[in-house]
């Protein structure tokens, strides 16, 4: 492509709307433009990237034996009522009403539609296994869309759904998708990790996520150095610390702590470590408020907490009035001593002694508190907190590390949740009806583009992995409009490269070289070739890879080799 014909506008300044680097660079490089909150137009250069991602995903899905189809984006409410998700999926559903006042939604996901397809099409176990997939636009009415295409409301997703006769078949289909996904992210050229995950709203049993590693990622991943364990921090289990609880060494004392409400404030005021303070959180329960007790330096894990009996899901913190009624003090001074509501203790609190906690009295805390003396020792402790770096690997050896990741893929074993609800059955060999075992497998196509940039950029712009770069080479003539030699050589090279199937962005604009170099780096094209009188006099072009610090002079043949990715001697 010739730059002059591409209507490409790059920006020097960072648009005010962009918060994270991928969003900023996508706007500056002219990949996307915003239409309204969380909804974007993919401009020609951005679309080229998107199409490459899609192509790789399709190739690997096809290789794994999946069948592409295309389901409607608009779905009738009745289907969603069959699975009760018309109400349960809640505000994420964009609801639409037609002229006959019938309800529809713009599909946020397609379990209902595919299960409807399955119950109509599938009659016999002989048709199994089958895995249908599509690449399609979804809409989820996020509370707060942000981060550009990383959390947009409208986005493109590859979603696949497998149907098997039994659990063993599902296991095989799931494993095939896990392999396919691994191949996809390897081919995309991204550093990623597969982690155990919570299955969340979609339902079902086993699930794993694929995360692109990036410091800006919204998710935290716990993993073992040995490589044997990786899980989303949401689900990574903590274990009770080994050893016995030390004997009390100090007497119980009530101390004034006026205005000190947070763990940090209390610890600082009393001159103790946050780990020596007990954190008591009051949350909504099914029969009145419930207290959750953690070590002061630990973080509550909402996913774990809301699964406890008697706790309301999704986890909801009690309001100030409820805290007042339950503890007798305003928020900030709650503690388990003498507390008249159900209490859950985190594992880590079980071995604490001589600790600090709220006195259930305003502006006061207790010090030298001990289980078995000042309050009953908990009958059992539970897993309430996020794992942290250095925690033991669950069920394994060694210690956990924490990395940040962007979730770009998720695979689930759904089981028969949807097939039972919607009556998707086949006859088995014995002529008996069996509910289909389902799996579902999603990849965020648009999110991958953003994640790739989050992981691969520098201060000058994007650094595309070669597999998804919008072009292979950025061709920069110097003095194109003034040097016939340069013009003829560049035109010839452009023609030759195009004929060889190399995707070229030929910067034929009459602008100074610095402008072209800056755009080449902003756009992140992997290879750059410069044609100049100076170089041509020596029979050479100037080559530089986007990741290189310096350029080098190369002959024509070597330049072509480099562009084709052949090894350089």
Site for RNA in 139-158 (CB under 7 A): 143-146
Residue ranges in 335-414 assigned as alpha helix (H): none
Interface with RNA (CB under 7 A), residue from 522, 560, 562, 563 = 522
How many angstroms separate the CA atoms of 22 and 315, rounded? 32
The correct pick among 412, 532, 546, 560 for binding RNA (CB under 7 A) is 532
**Residues 63-92 interacting with RNA (rule: CB under 7 A):** none
The only residue of 335, 350, 409, 470 in contact with RNA, by rule CB under 7 A: 335
408 vs 445: CA distance, rounded Å: 8
For the packed helices 445-455 and 21-28, what is the interaxial angle rounded to 10 degrees?
100
Q: Is residue 450 a contact residue for RNA (CB under 7 A)?
A: no
Assigned token pair, 345: 């203790």
Q: Does 22 contact RNA by CB under 7 A?
A: no
Q: Which of 332, 405, 444, 524 binds RNA (CB under 7 A)?
A: 332
Q: How far is the CB of 278 from RNA (least distance, A)?
A: 8
For RNA (CB under 7 A), the number of binding residues is 69
| Residue 347 binding RNA, by CB under 7 A | no
Cβ atoms < 10 Å from Cβ of 199: 16
530 binds RNA (CB under 7 A): yes
Distance, in Å, from the CA atom of 253 to the CA atom of 267, rounded to the nearest integer, reads: 15
Distance, in Å, from the CA atom of 185 to the CA atom of 201, rounded to the nearest integer, reads: 25
Among 44, 65, 314, 423, binds RNA (CB under 7 A): 314
- The distance of closest approach from Cβ of residue 241 to RNA in the complex, given in angstroms and rounded to an integer, is 19
Choice from 4, 19, 201, 253 touching RNA (CB under 7 A): 19
Write the secondary structure of 155-197 as one string of H (helix), E (strand) and C (coil). EEEEEEEEEECCHHHHHHHHHHHHHHHHHHHHHHCCCEEEEEC
Residue spans of alpha helices (H) in 191-301:
263-270
Name which of 303 and 502 has its Cβ closer to RNA. Answer: 303
Q: Which is nearer to RNA, 212 or 315 (CB)?
A: 315
| Closer residue to RNA (CB): 105 or 263 | 263
Record the tokens describing residue 398, joined without a space. 């060694």
Q: Give min distance, CB of 105 to RNA, in A.
A: 18
The residue assigned the tokens 């709650």 is 334
H or E, element range at 426: strand 425-427
- SS3 of 226, please? coil
Select from 212-220, 294-302, 340-348, 448-456 the region that touches RNA (CB under 7 A): 294-302
Q: 100: how many CB neighbours lie within 10 A of its CB?
A: 5
Residue 341 near residue 288 (C-beta atoms within 8 A): yes
If residue 416 lies in a helix (H) or strand (E), which one and from where to where?
none
Residue numbers 478-517 binding RNA by CB under 7 A: 478-479, 481-482, 512-515, 517
- Which of 49, 323, 445, 497 is in the footprint of RNA by CB under 7 A? 323
458: contact with RNA by CB under 7 A: no
> Which two tokens mark 494?
């452009």
430 or 510, CB closer to RNA?
Answer: 510
Q: Tell me which residue of 434, 374, 449 sits closest to 457, measured CA to CA.
A: 449
282 binds RNA (CB under 7 A): yes
Check residue 31 for interaction with RNA (CB under 7 A): no
Q: Could you tell me which stretch among 8-16, 367-375, 436-444, 451-459 binds RNA (CB under 7 A)? A: 8-16
Integer Cα distance of 483 and 533 in angstroms: 7
Exactly one of 119, 420, 518, 558 binds RNA (CB under 7 A); that residue is 518
Stretch in the footprint of RNA (CB under 7 A) among 92-100, 162-170, 500-508, 528-536: 528-536
| Binding status of residue 457 toward RNA by CB under 7 A | no
13 binds RNA (CB under 7 A): yes
Identify which of residues 79 and 281 has a Cβ nearer to RNA in the complex: 281
Q: Which residues contact 224 (CB under 8 A, 6 or more apart)?
A: 230, 393, 396, 397, 398, 399, 400, 401
Token readout for 124 is 């016999």
Q: Rule CB under 7 A: which residues touch RNA?
A: 9-17, 19, 28, 34, 36-38, 143-146, 261-266, 279-283, 299-300, 302, 314-318, 320, 323, 327, 331-335, 358, 386, 460, 478-479, 481-482, 512-515, 517-519, 521-522, 530, 532, 534-535, 542, 544, 551
């Amino acid at each position: 492509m010739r730059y002059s014909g591409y209507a490409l506008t790059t920006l020097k300044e960072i648009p005010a709307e962009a918060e994270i680097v991928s969003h900023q660079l996508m706007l500056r490089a002219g990949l996307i433009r915003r239409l309204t909150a969380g909804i974007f137009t993919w401009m020609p250069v951005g679309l080229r990237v998107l199409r490459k991602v899609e192509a790789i995903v399709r190739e690997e899905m096809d290789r794994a034996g999946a069948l592409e189809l295309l389901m409607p984006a608009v779905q009738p409410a009745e289907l969603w009522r069959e699975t009760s998700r018309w109400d349960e999926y809640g505000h994420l559903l964009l609801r639409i009403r037609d002229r006959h006042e019938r309800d529809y939604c713009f599909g946020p996901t397609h379990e209902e539609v595919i299960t409807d397809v399955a119950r109509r099409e599938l009659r016999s176990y002989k048709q199994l296994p089958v895995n249908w997939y599509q690449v399609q636009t979804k809409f989820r009415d996020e509370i707060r869309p942000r981060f550009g295409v990383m959390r947009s409301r409208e986005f493109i997703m590859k979603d696949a759904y497998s149907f098997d006769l039994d659990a063993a078949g599902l296991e095989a289909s799931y494993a095939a998708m896990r392999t396919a996904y691994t191949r996809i992210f390897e081919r995309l050229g991204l550093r990623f990790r597969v982690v155990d995950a919570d299955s969340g709203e979609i339902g079902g049993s086993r699930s794993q996520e694929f995360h692109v590693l990036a410091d800006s990622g919204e998710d935290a991943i716990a993993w073992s150095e040995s490589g044997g364990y990786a899980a989303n921090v949401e689900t990574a289990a903590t274990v009770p610390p080994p050893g016995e609880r030390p004997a009390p060494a100090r007497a119980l004392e009530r101390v004034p702590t006026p205005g000190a409400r947070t763990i940090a404030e209390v610890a600082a005021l009393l001159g103790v470590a946050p780990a020596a303070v007990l954190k008591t959180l009051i949350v909504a329960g099914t029969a009145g408020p419930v207290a959750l007790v953690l070590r002061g330096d630990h973080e509550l894990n909402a996913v774990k907490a809301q699964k406890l009996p008697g706790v309301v899901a999704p986890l909801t913190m009690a309001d100030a009035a409820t805290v007042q009624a339950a503890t007798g003090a305003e928020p900030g001074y709650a503690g388990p001593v003498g507390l008249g509501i159900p209490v859950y203790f985190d594992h880590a609190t079980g071995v604490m002694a001589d600790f600090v906690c709220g006195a259930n009295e305003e502006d006061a805390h207790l010090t030298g508190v001990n289980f078995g003396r000042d309050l009953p020792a908990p009958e059992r402790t539970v897993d309430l907190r996020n794992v942290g770096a250095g925690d033991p690997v669950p069920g394994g050896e060694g210690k956990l590390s924490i990395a940040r990741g962007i979730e770009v893929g998720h695979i689930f074993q759904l089981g028969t949740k949807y097939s039972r609800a919607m009556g998707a059955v086949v006859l088995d060999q014995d002529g008996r009806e069996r509910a289909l075992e389902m799996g579902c497998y999603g990849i965020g196509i648009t999110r991958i583009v953003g994640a790739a940039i989050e992981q691969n950029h520098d201060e000058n712009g994007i650094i595309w992995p070669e597999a998804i770069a919008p072009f292979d080479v950025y061709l920069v003539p110097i003095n194109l409009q003034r040097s016939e030699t340069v013009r003829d050589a560049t035109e010839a090279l452009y023609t030759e490269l195009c004929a060889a199937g190399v995707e070229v962005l030929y910067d034929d604009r009459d602008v100074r070289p610095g402008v072209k170099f800056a755009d080449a780096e902003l756009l992140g094209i992997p290879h750059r070739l410069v044609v100049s009188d100076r170089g041509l006099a020596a029979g050479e072009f100037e080559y530089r890879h986007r990741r290189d610090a310096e350029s080098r002079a190369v002959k024509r043949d070597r330049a072509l080799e480099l562009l084709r990715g052949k090894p350089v001697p």
